Chains A and B, each alone.
Chain A
Amino acid sequence: MDIKLEAIGHSYDGVRVMRDITLDIPDGRIVCIVGPSGCGKSTLLRFIGGLERPMEGRVVQMGEAPEGCLNPLTYIFQDFALLPWRSVAGNISLVLEDHGIKGAKAKAIIDDVLARTKLSDFAQALPKQLSGGMKQRVAIARALAVNPAVMLMDEPLSALDSQTRELLMDDLVSLWSRQPFTAVYVTHNLNEAVRLGHKIVVLSRRPGQIREVVEIDKPLDQRQFGDADLDEKQKYLWQLMREEARAADAELLNV
């Protein structure tokens, strides 16, 4: 299932935050969206997932979601969004219950996704007992449980320390290598973008517009921490963003 964004534009209370964004999200690829803070990345992701309506343009889904897909467009949030009163297993069962999946069938799915995210030993733990990295792995497990066609990730690693971030990036890469998923991955971290993105979309500062789309052909599982060619791409992206980020930073001051 592909997603197409057609000329999306939006304003909040008369302030233009986004203009003419046209973008293809091809099946089985990870599209990273980078841009200075406040350029509308989260807003764009909310449009893609149908949590909010853009004023101009539209988001189109090409083709049907594959069989067995419970929630085609599934989010992973920066702050995990786990229910603190439910255990790890309970948080995953939450998204299955509404589809009438209960009992043994639910348990099979929960066991499977917990195994894939290496959380099998923590099924009964409460979120408050988990570290940040584990919480985000629970959120990833929850997303996997509904068998999404497209994963929408809004800075999923930004709340974590850099070591945990490295580990989780490896986890995401191995998850993708085993079974390629489609993803839109919003980040302000260029290193994450070059490690995980097949396609990196650079947005300008507010009003967000596409400045450039950078493609990286190297397979995900061959990308390593500190690869020279990736560093080169990252430097190039930083050059694109530098002026925008500086201007955006100055703009926020005199809002």
Chain B
Amino acid sequence: MSDATLNTSRAAGTQGPDKQAAAMGETGKPVAFRGGGFAPRSPKWVGVAVFVVLIAIAEWGTRTGWISALTLPRPSDVLATFQELYQSGMLFKHLGPSLARLAVGALIGVSVGVSVGVLIGLFSYVRAGLVPLVAAIFPIPKIALLPLFVIWFGIGEGSKYALIAFGTFTPTVVATYGAVDNVDRTLIRMGQSFGLSWWSIVRKIVLPGAMPGILSGLRISLAIAIILLVAAEMLGAEYGIGAYILQAGSLYDLERLFAGVVILSVLGVVTSTVIGLIERRVLGWRT
């Protein structure tokens, strides 16, 4: 039936509108491209360009008076403040204790978090007991607990470590047990079928398999650690980036406030880059 109509139309093709179709068939038309996209890569310079453009706009705006000095400090003034901070040696006096607090606090929080997360991922009773507890403490703004930590751990470094550790603990736990849950079960079966010990399976199959999830959780945890650093230095800290920012804030010294904020941002970029490097080294096996 359809063959017949095809034949007649071809026979009629010598005259009438079909001539046009035949002509087009000869020259051909390229198939329209509709693939591509959905595969973002990140050329390095774009990120830098965004920063440069934003800062240039702020500089230009504050110089022309389009942005008033009370709204936003002039970037060049912030830079000058920063230079002063560096030359007076105060930069490292502030940075040193802050980095120590970050390192100790995050180390405690992350290592306890990973351990608890792995236990939740492996044992039914631990999971049943701790998942609701973690869900209960996750949404508590940890800053609200600072006075409690001061009572428990003293006004010195202890309370600061505790706050940062506690803040990094919960997101690490959640990321870790999710990652352990996602480890390919056939690999674990394989380990059992070759008679590997329980500890070998955890060390050689579960942990490496959970590593991608743990590392992406680490990104979030470390960002939270930096946020909490400022909070931790609200009480009883003479030196520290957080203390410096809070001081500047209470005096409405916007240049110093921004200099401090920039330091925190740089800290964030640095940790994220370091994790990126670790990921590239440790997770090279991913397809």
Contact = CB atoms under 8 A, between A and B. Distances in A.
Interface of A: 49, 51, 70-71, 73-75, 77, 79, 81, 83-86, 94-95, 97-98, 126-128, 142, 146, 152
A97 B200 contact: yes
Interface string B168-189: 0000000000000000001101
Given A77-B186, A85-B208, A51 B287 contact: no
Interface in B185-214: 186-187, 189-197, 200, 204-205, 208-209, 211
Main secondary structure of the interface of A (DSSP, over half): loop
A75 B190 contact: yes
B29 interface: no
Contact of B197 (A71, A81, A85, A98): A98
7 contacts: A71-B195, A73-B193, A86-B285, A95-B196, A97-B200, A97-B204, A146-B194
Nearest to B208: A85
Contacts of B34: none
Interface residues of B, number: 21
Given A85-B208, A85-B285, A97-B200, A71 B194 contact: yes
A101 to B, nearest CB: 13
Contacts of A126: 284-285
A126 B284 CA distance: 10
Nearest to B184: A81
Given A85-B208, A128-B287, A75 B193 contact: yes
B41 interface: no
A64 B285 CA distance: 40
B130 to A, nearest CB: 28
Given A97-B200, A126-B285, A83 B208 contact: yes
A84 B195 contact: no
Contact of B186 (A71, A79, A128, A142): A79
A49 B189 CA distance: 11
Contacts of A152: 193
Given A77-B190, A95-B196, 17 more contacts: A74-B193, A75-B190, A75-B194, A77-B186, A81-B186, A81-B187, A83-B208, A85-B209, A86-B285, A94-B204, A97-B200, A97-B204, A98-B196, A126-B284, A127-B285, A128-B285, A128-B286
B286 A84 contact: yes
Q: Which 5 A-B pairs have CB atoms at the shortest separation, nearest pair first?
A: A81-B190, A85-B285, A95-B194, A75-B193, A128-B287
A51 B192 contact: yes
Interface of B: 186-187, 189-197, 200, 204-205, 208-209, 211, 284-287
Given A74-B194, A83-B205, A98 B189 contact: no
B249 to A, nearest CB: 46
Given A71-B195, A74-B193, A95-B196, A83 B204 contact: yes
B43 to A, nearest CB: 25
A132 B286 CA distance: 16
Contacts of A74: 193-194
Contact of B195 (A77, A81, A98, A127): A98
A83 B195 contact: no
Given A83-B208, A85-B285, A98 B187 contact: no
A204 B286 CA distance: 41
B189 A81 contact: yes
Nearest to B204: A94
A142 B193 CA distance: 12
Contacts of B287: 84, 128
B243 to A, nearest CB: 43
A94 B205 CA distance: 10
Given A83-B208, A94-B204, A126-B285, A51 B186 contact: no
A122 B205 CA distance: 22
Contacts of A97: 200, 204
Interface centre among A73, A81, A97 (most CB of B within 10 A): A81
Given A81-B187, A126-B285, A128-B285, A51 B204 contact: no
Contacts of B197: 98
Nearest to A145: B194
Interface centre among A85, A97, A146 (most CB of B within 10 A): A85
Contacts of B205: 83
A253 B287 CA distance: 35
Interface centre among B186, B193, B196, B284 (most CB of A within 10 A): B193
Nearest to B283: A85
B61 to A, nearest CB: 50
B204 to A, nearest CB: 6
Contacts of B190: 75, 77, 81
B187 A83 contact: yes
A126 B283 CA distance: 12
Contacts of A98: 194-197, 200
